[in-house]
């Protein structure tokens, strides 16, 4: 059962979309409500709508190789395989698709040569009957800029007031950052004292490192929430084949569509992939036929319904 959201709830979700670590006092000032109201609404959304802020590395800026892997498993084993994959640190999100026998998993590797999941672990799993791996070449939308369906409650001035500064200067992740990133994946709003305890650093050192990584775009704070709470009950992955001469133009157009939470260029027969979130099946049909249908450069389209998200952006 989904919870009913009012204007304050939606504004808070939008505020956390803009800056997941914004202090409740600042959010309250921008929304025109008390700090206590913000804190109370946040706790309710965490408990009843699975809301969670997570800190994640940007794969492109962090020097990671990112893959979209499609697996087909034998009947009655797909969920077990998906849950096993969810326990791995190198998987970012996992979706059970189509008839319940197909799994799509996002895999990030620390280096381009580290493909243990693709080359060793998956081939050893007898219940997997088919595998196709597609390297993500470029993200046009998704990650630091996520689904616009949750970002429609604040006006431009409020968004500007909450937007953190970014200088664009790369601050690479190092091995010393692993405890910090692990703690932020568990709770992106963990206090400086909690992060200091997890890393062994002082709170001041944690604050400086967070500022460096976030300002350079090496890491970002994402917001997880059950999309059904915001009215999106029908999800699908869209695999599109677009003529190379038009793929950049089409992807940039798709990145403006409020129905999409991800747009990326990949290797393989389908060179663009998108994740659609729609109110219902009829809304998805209208999106496919009216908006995507108007883009003549899309030569073919495969729609893979998402039945269940097994793992979201980070390990729980």
Q: In this predicted structure, what is the pLDDT of residue 98?
A: 78
Does 70 lie in the same domain as 128? yes
Q: Mean pLDDT lowest for which of 127-131, 263-267, 304-308?
A: 127-131
**Rounded mean pLDDT, 74-80:** 87
Q: In this predicted structure, what is the pLDDT of residue 315?
A: 43
Asked whether residue 33 is domain-assigned, the answer is no
In contact, 218 and 173? CB cutoff 8 Å: yes
Report the CATH number that the domain containing residue 212 is assigned in CATH. Answer: 1.10.10
Does 293 lie in the same domain as 235? yes
Whole-angstrom CA distances from 231 to 4, 8, 31, 169, 278 are 10, 16, 22, 37, 8
Asked whether residue 239 is domain-assigned, the answer is yes
Report the CATH number that the domain containing residue 72 is assigned in CATH. Answer: 3.30.70.920
Q: Mean pLDDT lowest for which of 67-71, 84-88, 246-250, 270-274?
A: 84-88
Does 242 lie in the same domain as 175? no
In contact, 216 and 36? CB cutoff 8 Å: no
Query: Which of 82, 117, 136 corresponds to the end of one domain?
Result: 136
**For the chain, how many residues are written?**
316
pLDDT tens digits, 128-155: 888 888 999 998 987 655 677 777 899 9
Does 121 lie in the same domain as 75? yes
Query: Which of 97, 116, 136 corresponds to the end of one domain?
Result: 136
Asked whether residue 180 is domain-assigned, the answer is yes
Asked whether residue 284 is domain-assigned, the answer is yes
> What is the per-residue DSSP string for 273-303?
EEEEEESSHHHHHHIIIIIITT-TTEEEEEE
Asked whether the whole model's pTM tops 0.85, one would answer no
Give the contacts of 188 (CB within 8 A, at least 6 positions apart). 20, 21, 52, 53, 54, 55, 221, 222
Asked whether residue 47 is domain-assigned, the answer is no
Q: In this predicted structure, what is the pLDDT of residue 218?
A: 84
Q: Which domain holds residue 265?
A: 140-147+226-306
Tokens representing 151 are: 């970002």
Q: In this predicted structure, what is the pLDDT of residue 150?
A: 78
pLDDT tens digits, 219-249: 888 888 888 888 899 999 999 999 999 999 9
In contact, 19 and 144? CB cutoff 8 Å: no
Cα–Cα distance for residue pair 51/13, rounded to 1 Å? 9
Give the contacts of 294 (CB within 8 A, at least 6 positions apart). none
Whole-angstrom CA distances from 241 to 107, 257, 265, 300 are 22, 18, 10, 5
Question: Count of alpha carbons within 13 Å of 34, Cβ hemisphere only?
Answer: 3
**Rounded mean pLDDT, 101-105:** 92
Domain count, the chain: 3
Q: Between 101 and 167, name the one with better pLDDT.
A: 101
Does 259 lie in the same domain as 212? no
Cα–Cα distance for residue pair 205/220, rounded to 1 Å? 18
pLDDT tens digits, 181-205: 999 989 999 999 999 999 999 999 9
Q: Residue 111's pLDDT band (boundaries 50, 70, 90)? A: low
Asked whether residue 194 is domain-assigned, the answer is yes
Cα–Cα distance for residue pair 313/184, rounded to 1 Å? 12
Q: Residue 41's pLDDT band (boundaries 50, 70, 90)? A: very high
Asked whether residue 92 is domain-assigned, the answer is yes
Give the contacts of 61 (CB within 8 A, at least 6 positions apart). 170, 216, 217, 218
Mean of the per-residue pLDDT values for the chain?
87
Asked whether residue 116 is domain-assigned, the answer is yes
């Amino acid at each position: 059962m989904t919870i009913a959201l009012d204007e304050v709830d939606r504004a808070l979700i939008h505020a956390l979309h803009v800056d997941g670590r914004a202090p409740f006092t600042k959010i309250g000032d921008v929304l025109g409500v008390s700090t206590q109201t913000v804190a109370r609404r946040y706790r309710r959304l965490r408990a009843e709508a699975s809301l969670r802020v997570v800190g994640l590395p940007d794969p492109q800026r962090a020097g990671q190789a990112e893959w979209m892997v499609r697996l087909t498993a034998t009947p009655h084993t797909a969920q077990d395989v998906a849950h096993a994959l969810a326990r791995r640190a190198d998987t970012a999100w996992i979706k059970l698709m189509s008839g319940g026998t197909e799994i799509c998993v996002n895999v990030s590797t620390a280096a381009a040569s580290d493909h243990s999941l693709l080359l060793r672990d998956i081939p050893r799993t007898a219940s997997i009957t088919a595998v196709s791996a597609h390297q993500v070449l470029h993200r046009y939308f998704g990650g630091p800029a996520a689904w616009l369906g949750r970002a429609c409650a604040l006006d431009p001035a409020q968004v500007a007031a909450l937007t953190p500064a970014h200088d664009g200067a790369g601050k690479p992740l190092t091995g010393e950052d692993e405890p910090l990133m692990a703690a932020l994946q568990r709770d992106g709003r963990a206090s400086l004292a909690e992060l200091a305890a997890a890393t062994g650093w002082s709170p001041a050192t944690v604050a400086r490192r967070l500022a460096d990584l976030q300002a350079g775009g090496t890491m970002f704070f994402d917001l997880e929430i059950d999309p059904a709470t915001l009215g999106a009950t029908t999800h699908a992955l869209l695999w599109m084949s677009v003529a190379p001469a038009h793929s950049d133009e089409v992807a940039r157009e798709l990145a403006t569509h409020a129905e999409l939470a991800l747009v990326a260029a990949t290797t393989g027969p389908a060179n663009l992939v998108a994740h659609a979130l729609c109110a219902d099946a009829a809304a998805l049909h209208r999106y496919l036929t009216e908006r995507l249908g108007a883009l003549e450069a899309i030569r073919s389209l495969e729609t893979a319904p998402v039945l269940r998200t097994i793992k979201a952006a980070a390990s729980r």
